[in-house]
Amino acid sequence: MTLLHEECGVVGVSFKEESQAALTLYYALYALQHRGQESAGITVHDGMQLWTLKDMGMVPDVFNRRDIQRLKGHTGIGHVRYSTTGGSKIENCQPLHVSSKSGTIAIAHNGNLVNSKELRCELEREGRIFLSESDTEVIAHLLVKELMHYDLEDAIQELIRRLIGSYSLVVLVDDKLIVIRDPLGIKPMCLGRIENGFVVASESVAIDILNGELIRDIAPGEVLIFSNGTYESRQLVKSKNYAHCVFEYIYFARPDSIIDGELVYNVRMRIGQTLSEEHPVKADIVSPVPDSGITYAIGFSKKSGIDYMEGLMKNRYIGRTFIMPGQDMRETAVRLKLNTIKPNIEGKSIVLVDDSIVRGTTSRRIIDLMRKSGTKEVHMRVASPPIISPCYLGIDMATREELVAAHKAVKGVEAVINADSLGYLSIEGLVRSIGIPYDDLCVGCLTGVYPVEIPGERCAKRQLKLSEFDEPVKKELRSLGSSKFNEPIKIENLKR
Ligand code: AMP
């Protein structure tokens, strides 16, 4: 199966008429920059039509003050996108627009559909033309199609019936902002109050930066419809269990975000402490791989009583190594990114803590670097269990062939990365540290058992099927009456 990963950050704002959405979205995207550095985009509705500005690059590269001033409107959505192999193109930048006889919508998506190929073939057979490779365009076409037959709420419900995978979506239909979180709650999404309106975002840090107040997480299967700074909520689907992504806690989210009720920093501290209990070792100092290992190393130091001291310094002016395509680039990037603080590590036994080992390249490079600087022993401690299976649901990880732990036992990985000892967190330790029941987490990358059906992989539980939708809820939605979507809207793209 070819994978087009969609590892992203999304945001939406709805103000009362007089406020400017674009500036708010711009600040929020800054807070979500860690979720995607490849491209950024904003779409606003000015009361008449949609306006979009998007481009390749980081938030400050894509927008300037003049652009933001020109993007007038009190409702809007924004998106940052992560770099992915094969998908690094301007056409895949979001928000995406899709037009039809019934109008134009704009959509931004965090997540990954596993049935997008089938859906796309079906839509292409009906004569729909796709401009990008992304599954987001599939969602947009489906929604536009359903809107030709149903009112807004029913169209959204029909859409959810068809999608399998992870999706936190923000959509503009006219001046309405629609927010949808998949029934398993795989990707995060939260709601906050800001002066004069509301904001929804992948992570609560986006609300913090706006001086807003986090209200709550969007519930899995919930849909919110915002209009002029007020909103209505619909619980369209209720699953027995959820499948929150553990990798958000391990690596992806910012530690100052609250995700599904848990502060990521606290989770990481607990993981560090658990790691020290599970894999004790005698050493002189505990040192993190910056920045991803820092909170874990502090937790490890606290629990073990071994001094915390930095042995590596990060050059902050370089992007994450993972985003560079091709192996050579990645290795060069590691060398550019990290340097040792020699006197802190020379002649010492060190507990080196990082969040995860994916291919093993980074750990090997870092340990070699430390040995060159005179480190006596390097005991690697990893804040996640071994990653043995690819992610199909939105984390850009690697193929199974590339995952070092997919083919080697712990001793084998220890040899590959050239460590004196290697200890991974257990799955039980991870689940306990996160504080969410095992059955409500997606641990596909750690077990090879996924929460949705993926061809060739094992499945633990399935997303709700058509027959399992709640009829009474649907009836209630029908009684709400139709939306004003059928009025056509004009669209202008400001893309440079
Ligand atoms: P590797 O060299 O492939 O073993 O990379 C492992 C390093 O990449 C760890 O230090 C992680 O902090 C980082 N990492 C893990 N998962 C991701 C991801 N999805 N995107 C970017 N970096 C990652």
Residues 206 and 268 in one domain: no
Residues 16 and 145 in one domain: yes
Residues 190 and 314 in one domain: no
Distance from Cα 142 to the centre of ligand 1, integer Å:
34
Distance from Cα 427 to the centre of ligand 1, integer Å:
18
The domain spanning residue 28 has which CATH number? 3.60.20.10
Residues 174 and 216 in one domain: yes
Kindly list the catalytic residues. 8
The average pLDDT across 1-6 equals 44
Residue 211: inside a domain, yes or no? Answer: yes
Residues 99 and 165 in one domain: yes
Q: Which class for 355: exposed (0-12), middle (13-18), buried (19 or more C-beta within 10 A)?
A: buried
Ligand 1 atom closest to 402 (CA):
3
Residues 392 and 475 in one domain: no
* Residues 6 or more apart whose Cβ sits within 8 Å of residue 14: 21, 74, 75, 177, 197, 198, 226, 227, 228, 229, 230, 231
Evaluate if residue 323 carries a pLDDT over 50.
Answer: no
Structure tokens at 138: 């599939």
Query: What pLDDT band is residue 18 in, cutting at 50, 70 and 90?
Result: confident
Residues 186 and 335 in one domain: no
Ligand 1 atom closest to 361 (CA):
2
* 322 close to ligand 1 (CB < 6 Angstrom): yes
pTM for the predicted model, two decimal places: 0.90
Residues 93 and 207 in one domain: yes
Q: What is the pLDDT of residue 102?
A: 73
* 251 close to ligand 1 (CB < 6 Angstrom): yes
Ligand 1 atom closest to 354 (CA):
10
Helical H runs in 237-360? 246-247, 264-278, 294-304, 327-337, 342-345
Among 410, 436, 462, residue at a domain's last position: 436
What digits encode the pLDDT tens for the residues 47-63? Answer: 899 999 999 999 999 99
Selection from 390, 437, 380 nearest residue 411 by Cα? 380
Residue 277: inside a domain, yes or no? Answer: yes
What digits encode the pLDDT tens for the residues 27-50? Answer: 999 999 999 999 999 999 998 999
The domain spanning residue 383 has which CATH number? 3.40.50.2020
* 359 close to ligand 1 (CB < 6 Angstrom): yes
Percent of the chain with pLDDT over 90: 77
Residues 300 and 367 in one domain: yes
Q: Are 96 and 79 in contact (CB under 8 A)?
A: no
The average pLDDT across 193-203 equals 96
Residues 234 and 127 in one domain: yes
Evaluate if residue 24 carries a pLDDT over 80.
Answer: yes
The average pLDDT across 293-303 equals 98
Residues 313 and 222 in one domain: no
Residue 163: inside a domain, yes or no? Answer: yes
Residue nearest to atom 17 of ligand 1 (CA): 397
Q: Which class for 372: exposed (0-12), middle (13-18), buried (19 or more C-beta within 10 A)?
A: exposed
What digits encode the pLDDT tens for the residues 237-261? Answer: 889 999 999 999 999 999 999 999 9
Q: What is the pLDDT of residue 258?
A: 98
Evaluate if residue 85 carries a pLDDT over 60.
Answer: no
Domain with 395, as residue range(s), is 263-436
* 358 close to ligand 1 (CB < 6 Angstrom): yes
Residues 372 and 415 in one domain: yes
What digits encode the pLDDT tens for the residues 385-442? Answer: 999 999 999 888 789 999 999 999 999 999 999 999 999 999 999 999 999 999 999 9
What digits encode the pLDDT tens for the residues 258-284? Answer: 999 999 999 999 999 999 999 999 999
Residue 348: inside a domain, yes or no? Answer: yes
Residue 401: inside a domain, yes or no? Answer: yes
Q: What is the pLDDT of residue 464?
A: 66
* 204 close to ligand 1 (CB < 6 Angstrom): no
Q: What is the end-to-end Cα distance of the chain in Å, rounded?
A: 34
Total domains in the chain come to 2
